[in-house]
Structure 1
Amino acid sequence: MKQIEQALDMRPGSIYATFGSKDGLFSEVLARYAEQSGEDLAGHMAGYDNVLDGLQAFLVKIARNCSDPGCAPARACLIVKTLLESSNTNTALHQEAKTVLAAIEDAFTELLKTARKQGELAPATNCRRLARLIQGQIMGLRSMAERDLSAIELEHLGQDMAAILDAYRVRN
């Protein structure tokens, strides 16, 4: 919130009033996050014919971004923090965070189904389950980035995450 106050040169009350309330602000942020996440993933994947190659590169890219000092704090942390902190205090906001995370999981699931259909993934692969694994790995990576690991350590984690997908590839 402090960063928003400084960037807009506004006090918290004025910011909240613009969105109707603090909850309104968080709701708008969550909606924008979901939209931008989808755009980021789609834009990245557009550069790849092979879905698994694209997903692996995406995971390494996220790891690199986590170590970039010029990048804002990881957005997924906001979603997870909102999910955890609102569970007992704000049911509507808690549900919105769950909805955003479910939409991200759905996007990964659809990509993995495409990979399976194209013969990149083993036919028996449970795409929903693998999507959850990928999402969990990304959340964990962003949490690890908060530990101030070096750029190379974070990149190695991203590479290790990407390598998980190799176990699901069809072997020719």
Structure 2
Amino acid sequence: MARTKNFDEDKVLEAAMLLFWEKGYSATSMKELEQVMQLNPTSIYNTFGSKRELFQKALRLYMNSALSGFIDAITNARSLPIALQNVLNEVIRLHYNPGHPGGCMVMLSILENEQHDEETRAMLNSALPLLRDTLVKRFKQAQAAGEISTEMDSKDFGNHVTALISGMITMAKSGFSKNELKHLIQSSSDCLLQQCGI
């Protein structure tokens, strides 16, 4: 007869995600994972698999939560200017959340690319293009609705905003203040929207 698990699988996976997010894959030891998850090695292995499989599950959780916040900020906005403000402010919301380690788990993990296998790299490499493609789609919707000029290239816009988000995450992680990032959001938004004819 199978034993009933006496722990919340989602809760312990979130604990692992936060540790990987803070320290990265290679610097996170199984002993540390056991401590934050409050599980023994057998329970971790039986439930989540190897350390690499656990990391992939934690990364998937991150992408379904934190990354989806960026996607929702773009798709749920009623106009392109609001979408732009919302997605850039999502950097501040994510980084300065006291329950988060700061920065972005995807970007931090990409920087240790050599530590990952092909499946993990494919997951990581899909994140920024997904964000960029969501921006491109929203931009094209705004063009089709006559909301903005048709002169600016949608892919250029998407790449520009994705680079801005990546840069802001790096700046936040390296100690730039929330006010500095807010000023950057405003000035960058103004410049981009002027190029869009708004």
Range of TM-score over shorter length: 0.7 to 0.9
Root-mean-square deviation (CA), in Å?
A: 2.9
Q: 1:9 aligns with which of 32, 35, 38?
A: 38
- Structure 2 unaligned runs (5+)? 1-15, 20-32
Report the AA paired with residue 72 of structure 1: H
Q: Deviation string for 1:50-93 (max 9, x for gaps)?
A: 1222222331343354344x1413463x2122223124752221
More displaced stretch, 153-162 vs 107-116: 153-162
Q: Report the structure number with the largest CA radius of gyration.
A: 2
Inter-CA distance 79–43: structure 2 relative to 1 (3 Å threshold) = closer
Displacement of 1:2: 9.3
Q: Which 10-residue stretch deviates more, 105-114 or 48-57? A: 48-57
- Whether the aligned pair in 2 keeps the contact of 1:56 and 1:163 (CA below 8 Å) is no
Does residue 142 (structure 1) correspond to residue 148 (structure 2)? The answer is no
Q: Aligned ranges for residues 8-47 of structure 1 at < 5 Å? A: 8-10=37-39, 15=44, 18-37=47-66, 39-41=68-70, 43-45=72-74
Paired with 2:169 and 2:135, the residues of 1 have a C-alpha distance of 18
Higher RCO (CA 8 Å, separation ≥ 6 residues): 1
- Take 2:108 and 2:116, find their aligned partners in 1: how far apart are those partners? 13
Taking the TM superposition and a 5 Å limit, the aligned residue runs for 1:78-89 are: 78-87=105-114, 89=116
Q: Distance in 2 between matches of 1:28 and 1:2?
A: 8
Task: State the alpha-carbon separation in 2 of the partners of residues 97 and 133 from structure 1.
Answer: 20
Task: Describe the superposition over 1:4-34 as per-residue Cα deviations: whole angstroms up to 9, x where unpaired.
Answer: 4454223677545532122212222332333
**Which segments of structure 1 move beyond 4 Å, counting only runs of 4 or more?**
1-4, 11-14
Pair 12,141 (structure 1): closer, same or farther in 2 beyond 3 Å = farther
In the TM superposition, residue 142 of structure 1 has moved relative to its aligned partner by 0.8
Does structure 1 conserve the Cα–Cα contact (< 8 Å) formed by 2:95 and 2:169?
A: yes
The alignment status of 1:95 with 2:127, answered yes or no, reads: no
Instruction: Tell me, in whole angstroms, the C-alpha distance in 2 between the residues paired with 1:3 and 1:154.
Output: 24
